[in-house]
Every structure is written in C-alpha cells, then in structure tokens.
Copies of this chain bind each other. A is one copy, B any other.
Amino acid sequence: MFKSQGPVGLKRFSTAEATVAAAGKMREKTLTMETLNPHVKAVEYAVRGPIVTKAGEIERDLQEGGKQPFTEVIKANIGDAHAMGQQPITFLRQVVALCTFPELLDSPTFPEDAKKRARRILQGCGGTSLGSYTASQGVDFIRQDVASYIEQRDHGVPADWENVYLTTGASDGISILRMLVSGQGSSRTGVMIPIPQYPLYSAAITEMEAVQVNYYLDEDNCWALDINELHRAYQAAKQHCQPRVLCIINPGNPTGQVQSRKCIEEVLHFAYEENLFVMSDEVYQDNVYSPDCEFHSFKKVLYEMGPEYFNSVELASFHSTSKGYTGECGFRGGYMEVLNLDPDVRAQLIKLRSVQLCPPVSGQAAMDVIVNSPHPEEPSYARFHEEKNAVLGALAEKAKMTEQILNGVPGIRCNPVQGAMYAFPQILLPPKAVEEAKALGMHPDMLYCLRLLEETGICLVPGSGFGQREGTFHFRMTILPPKEKLKVLLDKVRDFHIKFLKEYATLEEQLR
C-alpha cells in the first residue's frame, strides 16, 4: 500500500499558522490534528477528494482568464446527472413546486394529476405545510406508497409500510450500520464490503470503528460477485473480528455490473447460514442497460427462497431520488426497507432517527412521485414516460459507447457497463510511472488522474479511492456527460493514455 497523500489545493493554509496564537499570548488550539478524533482523521472519501478540489481550482482559474491547455473542465467524478445537463422530470418538479407554493394549486398551467398528488402530500404534512417536521420515519402515506411500489417492482412480494423509513438520500440510510457496531478486539463487528466499493462504506466503517472486511469482485468475470471469494473473506476475517454485516451494491458502484439471480440467491444463502445482516444498496435499480441483465431485488430473491429465509434474514435495502432516471441528488431523498428487524431494535432505530428529526420533506415528496408516477389514464403519463425513456435510453447508449471506445485503447480494459452510471476500466501503468508515483508518496492511479486533469481538464477518480486488487490500477468515470461531450472526454482519455504510455515506456519499448 502507498501512503495516501494530503489534500491537494488546501495549501494556502499551513500547520505553522495554526499554532501561532494571537498577539501577546500563546494560546493553544483545542482542536488540532493531534487532538482530532483519530477515526475521523482516518476517513477517506475519494469521490470528493483531492482530484476534485484540484479540478475546482483549475475551473476557477479558467473563469478568471487563466491559461490552461484546455478550455473546459469536464467532471466525470460524481454521479451528478443534472450538473451534467440532464433535465429534471417535469412531473416531479411540478408536484414539488405545488407543494412548496400551494397557491399554484389554483393555477390552470399545472396538470390535474400533479395537483392531486401535491394535495395528497400536503394532507400528510402537519398544518398541510411542507415546512412541518414529519415523523422521523417519514410521512406515513408516502411510506405506504413506497411499500406498494416495492410490491409491484417485486411482482407481488408483500411489503409492510412500517418497514419503510424515508431517508436523507441513501447515504443517510446507510448510517443504520451504526447500530450494528459493537464488541471489542476479536469480537468487534466486521463489515464485509465489495472491493471495489463506493467509499461511503469504508468511510462509515472507519468512522464508526468497525472492522472492514474486503471481498473482491471478479474483474475477469464482469465484476461478478464470486461466492467462493465471499467464503474466503469471511473465514479469514473470523480470525480477527466478528463479521456481522454484508454489504452489497447492485447494480455496482463503481463497477457497473448487475448481479444475476443465481448469484443473489447464493449470497443470501450464505448470509442466512452465517447469520449476517445484509445491507443491499440498490440505488441503481432503474439503471440497467445491458439487454442480458435484469435487476432482481435482494428482497424478491429472499422471498422466492422460501419462508425460512424470508422470515429470518435481516435485510436493509436502500433507494434514492438521486439516481435512476430522475437524478434528483439535491433533494436528498431516499428510503430504506428493513426486514426482520428485532422489534425492540426497531424501536431503537426509530429513536436514533428521531434525534435528526426528519428527512427533508421536499425530498420525501420527490420520492413519492418516483414511487407513484402517473398512471396510464392520467394526463401526465405520456410526457413522464417520454422523459423517463429518453434519459434511460441515452444512458444505455452512452454505456455502450464508453465500453467500446475504452476497449479500443491499448492498455485499457473495460468491462461492460451493465448498469449504474460508471465505467471502472483497468489501466495498464508502466513500471516507471508506478515508481515515480511511489517516490511522490502517491497512488499510481492518482498520479495518472492528476496528470489527466492537468493536461486535458478531465476529472476522474483514481481506482485506489474505491479499492482494487494489489498491483492493478483503475479509474472511475461517470457516463453522465451529454453524448457529444462524453465522446470528447473518451477521445481525450485515449490520446492521453497513449501519450502517457509512451512517456513512461522503457527505452527498449520506445525503440521497438
């Protein structure tokens, strides 16, 4: 492992300054890097890490007329659809605007189905206002709508709305992990996460002082989850911790794979046998592009495995307004469904969530539109589906294009982007580049991404921020930029990569 480097771009502050006290008297700071909570210090979150800070600096420099070898920074570091030009779904925005300013309910410019939903949402709010706190679990009938949606999605598998908790995005839901962290030493809670993973998981584990247990996805097999590897990781971890939680991301982030039904059944069987609490991150459930793949919820598969599974495995699954076809990240809406929670523990969960009062109510409203979209007989049906299909159709096209262009570059190998919003290609880095990075105390793919940013204006996230097999290197890029811009981005990556390989080639290779 390489030592992770300090944040780029915050250099104008120096530690020296920090300890200089005010005139006359030396007064130490209370909160310094020495006294900082060590678990906070240990947290890493690459998606908004040093590369992104640097990209922001370059962007500002460009705005102020600075000279760069490019005219625009293209940010493909984060799944932020609207920032990349994706348009909001009209119906969703209409409903939330109506809820925000109910005088509009009298306006003829809004369709009746949007008004109907807005009135219903407001009826569920204290004082019929979006400005009231809701129950900490969210508005009751929105939870009921979510349950109906889940039942429909899962072809009739029953969903109890009291198992549904609305959240502040999926990131907030994942804090349920806190409940599961206990024990000391070798009985400390181990949390199994895929590698590569979305770094929210490793960040939460670090901050909560749980033990991270890595299981590696199979890159040679389209990033599939290999049940043998899961067994291996579990057995190895048992030596030094108590694995109690199994995290799954399906469709995968950053890896873009969609798990097969068979694989999910194996995983659930394993969780059943080993008494693991399953956390299933399914925020990309609407983002499946490959015609050979289908989204199966962990819950549906659990149900199909029979009541001895369905009535016992503790399963929390997560969804969000931020992904799918809506891409409403800024609303911070989401939900989790939690199955088979011990009833006393359920009361504890409600208590814990109460401390933060409630998720943002406009996010709850947005979530309601997603789970209760226009019906065929309603006036907004056609437009809603047209917009939805346009977004998902474009993403599918871009997924294909990304894979094809990247696989055309020597030294880049990209699995099919079956789902989600990311490609996570492997990049072959010449030994000289790896050595140079080591000398700089930097991950080699960080060096690569920094150079890419500085030379082309393209902002990607190094694979090291997500985890990868020792000695392999990757980057994560979103497929969200508009098609033309994505093409430019991919072409630039190709040209950069070829140039990079040449630059770091051995003399022998250069002469070849």
Q: Which 5 residue pairs are nearest across A and B when measured between Cβ atoms?
A: A13-B343, A83-B126, A330-B361, A97-B101, A82-B129
Q: How far is the CA of A334 from the CA of B99 in the complex (A)?
A: 21
Q: Please determine whether A13 and B344 come into contact, CB atoms closer than 8 angstroms.
A: yes
Q: Which of A284-292, A304-312, A429-437 contacts B (4 or more CB under 8 A)?
A: A304-312
Q: A30-B244, A41-B348, A277-B30 are in contact. Are A133 and B80 (CB under 8 A)?
A: yes
Cα(A130)–Cα(B311), bound, Å: 41
- Chain B residues contacting A35 (CB-CB under 8 Å) are 180, 182-183, 244
State the CA gap A120–B474 with chains docked (Å): 38
Whether the Cβ atoms of B347 and A7 lie closer than 8 Å is yes
Contact indicator B179/A40 (Cβ below 8 Å)? yes
A498 on interface, CB distance cutoff 8 Å: no
5 contacts between A and B (CB under 8 A): A24-B308, A31-B345, A33-B345, A36-B182, A56-B135
Interface of A: prevailing SS? loop
Known: A35-B244, A272-B27. A361 touches B182 (CB 8 A): no
Question: Does A439 make an interface contact (CB < 8 A)?
Answer: no
Q: Taking the complex as formed, is A457 at the interface, i.e. its CB lies under 8 A from any CB of chain B?
A: no
Asked if A311 and B28 sit within 8 Å, CB to CB, the answer is: no
CB-based contact A330/B97 at 8 Å: no
Instruction: Looking at the assembled complex, report how far the CB atom of A94 sits from the nearest CB atom of chain B, in whole angstroms.
Output: 6
Interface hub of A93, A104, A200, A342 (most chain B Cβ within 10 A)? A342
Nearest-neighbor residue (CB-CB) of A16 within chain B: B343
Partner of A131, one of B203, B272, B329, B347: B329
Query: Is A487 an interface residue, CB under 8 A from the partner?
Result: no
Q: Distance (Å) between the CB of A298 and the closest chain B CB?
A: 15
Residues of chain A in range 65-100 having any CB-CB distance to chain B below 8 Å: 78, 80-86, 88, 93-94, 96-97, 100
Check A356 against B179 for contact (C-beta < 8 Å).
no
A169 pairs with B308, CB closer than 8 A: no
Contact: B136 with A14, CB < 8 Å?
no
Which of under 10, 10 to 19, 20 to 34, or 35 or more describes the interface residues of A? 35 or more
By a CB distance below 8 angstroms, the chain B residues around A127 are: 82-86
Chain A residues 37 to 79 lying within 8 A of chain B, measured CB to CB, are 37-38, 40-41, 43-45, 47-49, 56, 78
Would you call A275 and B178 a contact (CB within 8 A)?
no
Quote the shortest CB–CB distance from A419 to chain B (angstroms): 21
- Determine the distance from Cα of A311 to Cα of B26 in the docked complex, in whole angstroms: 11
What separation, in Å, do the CA atoms of A132 and B354 have in the docked complex? 27
Known contacts: A100-B96, A126-B82. The answer to whether A359 contacts B345 by CB under 8 A is no
A183 CA / B30 CA spacing, docked (Å): 13
Flag if A129 contacts B83 (CB, 8 Å). Answer: yes
**In this complex, what residue of B is CB-closest to A180?**
B31
A275 in contact with B7 given A168-B168, A179-B40, A360-B168 (CB within 8 Å): no
How many Å lie between the Cα of A25 and that of B134 in the bound state?
40
Q: Which residue of B lies closest to A357 (CB)?
A: B171
Q: CA of A362 to CA of B14 in the docked complex: distance in angstroms? A: 35
From the candidates B32, B49, B346, B354, name the one contacting A45 in the complex (CB within 8 A).
B354
Question: Which B residues lie within 8 Å of A505 (CB)?
Answer: none
Which residue of chain B has the shortest Cβ distance to A14 in the bound complex? Answer: B343
By the criterion CB–CB under 8 Å, are B32 and A330 in contact?
no
Could you say which of B43, B100, B275 contacts A351, with CB atoms under 8 Å apart?
Answer: B43
Judging by beta carbons under 8 Å apart, are B30 and A331 in contact? no
Known pairs A29-B312, A131-B329 / 7 extra A-B pairs, C-beta < 8 Å: A14-B343, A18-B344, A22-B307, A36-B179, A45-B354, A80-B133, A131-B331
Chain B hits for A203, CB < 8 A = 355
Known: A33-B342, A330-B360. A48 touches B181 (CB 8 A): no
Contact, CB under 8 Å: A18 / B343: yes
Interface contact A31-B341, CB-CB below 8 Å:
yes
Determine if B82 and A10 form an interchain contact, defined as CB atoms under 8 angstroms apart: no
Distance to closest chain B CB from A43 (angstroms): 6
Instruction: Indicate whether A443 reaches chain B with its CB closer than 8 angstroms.
Output: no
Q: Are the C-beta atoms of A331 and B362 separated by less than 8 Å?
A: yes
Are A344 and B15 in touch, CB under 8 angstroms?
A: yes
A328 and B30 contact, CB distance less than 8 A: no
Complex contacts, A30 vs chain B, CB 8 Å: 180, 244-245, 275-277, 314
In the complex, the answer to whether B80 meets A347 with C-beta atoms within 8 Å is: no
Q: Is A470 an interface position by the 8 A CB rule? A: no
* Cβ–Cβ < 8 Å partners of A327 in chain B: 131
